[in-house]
Structure 1
Amino acid sequence: MQTVILAAGKGTRMRPLTESTAKPMLPVVGEPIAAHTAQAAINAGASRLIFVIGYEAESVKEYFGESYQDTPVAYATQTEQRGTADAVRAAKAELTEDPFVVLNGDNLYDVSSLESLYVSAPSIGTVRVENPSAYGVLEITEDNESESDMSKRVSGVVEKPANPPSNRINAGAYAFPEAARGWLDVDPSERDEYELTDTLQQTCESVSVTPVDIDRWLDVGRPWEYLEANEWKLSECRPRFEGDVSPDADLRGSVVVESDATIEPGVVIDGPVYIASGATIGPNAYIRGATMIESGAHVGHAVEIKNSVLRSETSVGHLSYVGDSILGCNVNFGAGTTVANLRHDDADIKQTVKGERISTGRRKFGVVCGEGVKTGINTSLSPGVKLSCEARTEPGETVTRDR
């Protein structure tokens, strides 16, 4: 099944992490998000991949090339981001006259569910949620009382309804019939975008569409969901030690140390933890929780890193603490920098996304730092703070608001 992977967006909700990196190319355990999507698609039955690219397009083409995992790859350019139907329409010239699957390049899916999506085509992936009103909700028609999805059909999708017709939301995974290539020229929505859900609606009115439950799915749209993506994929890692690990280091659980990484004496690592090639840890550092440390990153003496992402060439100076945080490329934390990741009232931590304060849904969440951030020694950073690219703090400063 030919498979279109949407990877053209700017990822504005993920800023500052996407100022110079396309969101689908943000690394998750050593590979871009879109690579995990592509691999799941290939394992599920994709015979050809078509990436729709736009923002930072060259990074996508450079990574996937003309073939990925022995699967042919083609590219289509969406010159202006005008919605999902517009994105698939950009790929129309690359589509053969056969059924096709559409996946979001910033979503993670479990393979077995995608297999069901492919074999059930025409079909749409769905996720059951407790409060569906904030999503696109599927209208389901049941042929009988059976619990099997084979007895159910999708009759339409309703965006953010006050009275949801079901508890099953659109997971952004579609298996369209060949005829849907002719249903991509939709009218603009109220948001002035061309929505793939309108193509889905016409598909539902023309052919029988099967709802397929996605057992595990994650839309990686905001920084805390990026942390969750790494937590998911780190949980699937198996221990592997290829770098230079001191005999005086203590590595516990699922820890991956890539070649050319260095683990100094006195380091304690409680997995799941992934340490990329060229990273150096310690001496006497403590790494725990679901943590990814990218190539060239440095964790200094007596530093504690917990459940975090450190991107390439980032340095956390000695006697520092980083918890539940994301540090972009080339960040430098001065010695004694401390991240607070818990509110005293135990409430969920909020963060500003596109000018709106939103709950992360997490009791513990630290900071998000864009590329090139530098903190002075003994800086204190409050929960949920975002530091934009190249932001600076003074020695001894307490930062309570975004900068």
Structure 2
Amino acid sequence: MIENALILAAGKGTRMWPLTENNPKPLLPIGGLSIIERQIYELKKVGVKNIFILIGYKMKDISDKLENGGKYGVNIDYITQEEQKGTGHAVAQAKNVIEERFYCINGDMIINAENLTKLNHDKNNLAMMVTEVEDCSNFGVVESQNDYLVSIIEKGAKGKGIINAGSYIFDKRIFSAIDNIKKSIRGEYELTDALQSISDKIKIVNHAGFWKDIGSPWDLITANEIYIKDISNNIQGIIEDNVTIKGDLHLGENSIIKSGTYIEGPVWIGENCTIGPNAYLRIGTVLCGDNKIGASSEIKNSILMKGAKAPHHNYVGDSIIGKNSNLGSGTKIANLRLDKNTINVVHQGKKIDSGRRKFGAIIGDNVNTGINSTINAGTILGSYVRIGPNASVSGTYESQSTII
């Protein structure tokens, strides 16, 4: 049994803008739990007792949330990576901290106990988990022979392929391998270079079941659709008379569902939320806490971060709304093209096919919209954006933009 694990959680997660503008990526929610909390619970299931978390960007947010691990039934220690010099450099920070074999997990990967157990099938080898994807153009392609690593090819291949799934088992041999690599053409110390240098010792293990790289903001919506199905009824708040609930519901402490509200689960409602009267929450809705969903507002398959509000006559579909953002009365977020094709977005200067036929908007923290404004499908808004009354918004807007 492996008792130690390293979670790589120091990066800025720039591809997840605007959600990571003010928040570390590992704390983004999926199905009511943060990515890193899901990792901790699954690691505990396979016997891990000591978890070392590599932190850097927004490090205090992570340590304040997870503390010493006691509430999860594990011991958590933190390793600080002052500068991000690549994935190899990240793993090397644990060189003088972890002595025995250990799991190593990318901080943005969804894992489960079944696959962690598979990864540790051969008790003497180092191991790397791989998975098959339909489009490998954004990933390094893994080549293997007789279940051992041969090479990892840089991004750019097209079509279906086998890729690195971001989960490993290492021992002290990985540190020696990292010590012997040079900087890549990107000027970083790459973990993949270290792996290739000892490829004959790296066992390849195939991932089973659903796998998703949380590489873009809309990937969070897709992952949430899968993992919210795992919730079960847990009612800690107040439900008034004349509320209809179908399916599973998690209702946090000090939250209230007011009369006339209709809920189709699975739905997750965190602490200190007010729902209704006469609100409609549909499958896949996650409210992270301190949220208000008011009269005649409808939320479908969306994540509202802590403090976000849709208080009056709003529609939010297949979207993410950042912390403390507020939708003015009558603001609607569209989530479907008229031609019903997949929705394109402009993200970090590139036009990208989201791959989703239903996709609303990604809205950063502290955004405010005026009454009767419309946010069209595929819109991305940075933090502190202001939208005027009756405005119709499409495209991508940097933080602190004003749209009238």
TM range (shorter): over 0.9
Does residue 386 in structure 1 map to residue 380 in structure 2?
A: yes
For 1:341, the equivalent position in structure 2 comes to 335
Alignment match of 1:230 (pick from 216, 224, 237):
224
For 1:187, the equivalent position in structure 2 comes to 182
For 2:92, the equivalent position in structure 1 comes to 89
Q: Indicate how the Cα distance of structure 1 residues 368 and 161 shifts in structure 2: closer, same or farther if over 3 A, else same.
A: closer
For 1:78, the equivalent position in structure 2 comes to 81
Does residue 29 in structure 1 map to residue 24 in structure 2?
A: no
For 1:149, the equivalent position in structure 2 comes to none
State whether residues 261 and 276 of structure 2, in contact with CA within 8 Å, keep that contact through their aligned partners in structure 1. yes
Deviation at 1:89, TM superposition (A): 1.1
Could you say what secondary structure the match of 2:198 adopts?
Answer: helix
Percent identity, aligned pairs only, is: 35
* Alpha-carbon RMSD: 1.7
Q: For structure 1, list consecutive stretches of 5 or more residues without a partner in the other structure.
A: 143-151
For 1:159, the equivalent position in structure 2 comes to 154
The TM-score normalised by the length of structure 2 is 0.92
For 1:146, the equivalent position in structure 2 comes to none
Deviation at 1:208, TM superposition (A): 5.1
Q: Indicate how the Cα distance of structure 1 residues 213 and 380 shifts in structure 2: closer, same or farther if over 3 A, else same.
A: same
For 1:134, the equivalent position in structure 2 comes to 138
Deviations 1:90-111 (A, max 9, x none): 2222111x22221011110122
Alignment match of 2:270 (pick from 261, 270, 276):
276
Does residue 251 in structure 1 map to residue 245 in structure 2?
A: yes
Distance 1:63 1:125 in 2: 28
Does residue 308 in structure 1 map to residue 308 in structure 2?
A: no
State whether residues 95 and 172 of structure 2, in contact with CA within 8 Å, keep that contact through their aligned partners in structure 1. no
Q: Indicate how the Cα distance of structure 1 residues 208 and 343 shifts in structure 2: closer, same or farther if over 3 A, else same.
A: closer
State whether residues 108 and 218 of structure 1, in contact with CA within 8 Å, keep that contact through their aligned partners in structure 2. yes
Deviation at 1:133, TM superposition (A): 4.2
Deviation at 1:161, TM superposition (A): 5.5
One-letter amino acid of the counterpart of residue 81, structure 2: Q
One-letter amino acid of the counterpart of residue 128, structure 2: I
Q: Indicate how the Cα distance of structure 1 residues 30 and 213 shifts in structure 2: closer, same or farther if over 3 A, else same.
A: closer
Deviation at 1:12, TM superposition (A): 1.1
Does residue 124 in structure 1 map to residue 118 in structure 2?
A: no
Distance 2:138 2:309 in 1: 39
State whether residues 76 and 90 of structure 1, in contact with CA within 8 Å, keep that contact through their aligned partners in structure 2. yes
Deviations 1:115-144 (A, max 9, x none): 1112334211111123334321221213xx
Deviation at 1:153, TM superposition (A): 2.1
State whether residues 263 and 282 of structure 1, in contact with CA within 8 Å, keep that contact through their aligned partners in structure 2. yes
The TM-score normalised by the length of structure 1 is 0.93
Distance 1:119 1:4 in 2: 19
Equivalent residue runs for 1:56-71 within 5 Å: 56-68=58-70, 69-71=72-74
Q: Aligned pair count?
A: 391
Q: Indicate how the Cα distance of structure 1 residues 116 and 17 shifts in structure 2: closer, same or farther if over 3 A, else same.
A: same
Deviations 1:242-298 (A, max 9, x none): 211112000110111112111011100001100011101111111102010121100
State whether residues 74 and 94 of structure 1, in contact with CA within 8 Å, keep that contact through their aligned partners in structure 2. no
One-letter amino acid of the counterpart of residue 64, structure 1: L
For 1:100, the equivalent position in structure 2 comes to 102
State whether residues 76 and 91 of structure 1, in contact with CA within 8 Å, keep that contact through their aligned partners in structure 2. yes
Does residue 201 in structure 1 map to residue 182 in structure 2?
A: no
Deviation at 1:388, TM superposition (A): 1.2
Q: Indicate how the Cα distance of structure 1 residues 338 and 104 shifts in structure 2: closer, same or farther if over 3 A, else same.
A: same
Distance 1:163 1:269 in 2: 42
One-letter amino acid of the counterpart of residue 50, structure 2: R
One-letter amino acid of the counterpart of residue 138, structure 2: A
Distance 1:347 1:332 in 2: 29
Deviation at 1:362, TM superposition (A): 0.2
For 1:145, the equivalent position in structure 2 comes to none
Further displaced range: 65-74 or 217-226: 65-74
Q: For structure 2, list consecutive stretches of 5 or more residues without a partner in the other structure.
A: 398-404
Q: Indicate how the Cα distance of structure 1 residues 133 and 27 shifts in structure 2: closer, same or farther if over 3 A, else same.
A: closer
Deviation at 1:344, TM superposition (A): 1.2
Does residue 216 in structure 1 map to residue 220 in structure 2?
A: no
Does residue 395 in structure 1 map to residue 389 in structure 2?
A: yes
State whether residues 130 and 204 of structure 2, in contact with CA within 8 Å, keep that contact through their aligned partners in structure 1. no
Further displaced range: 123-132 or 382-391: 123-132
State whether residues 345 and 395 of structure 2, in contact with CA within 8 Å, keep that contact through their aligned partners in structure 1. no
Distance 1:302 1:263 in 2: 13
For 1:353, the equivalent position in structure 2 comes to 347
Does residue 327 in structure 1 map to residue 321 in structure 2?
A: yes
Distance 1:197 1:317 in 2: 48
One-letter amino acid of the counterpart of residue 268, structure 1: Y
Further displaced range: 177-186 or 386-395: 177-186
Deviation at 1:305, TM superposition (A): 0.5
Deviations 1:204-244 (A, max 9, x none): 13x25232324332221211111122222211001222211
State whether residues 369 and 389 of structure 1, in contact with CA within 8 Å, keep that contact through their aligned partners in structure 2. yes
Does residue 289 in structure 1 map to residue 292 in structure 2?
A: no
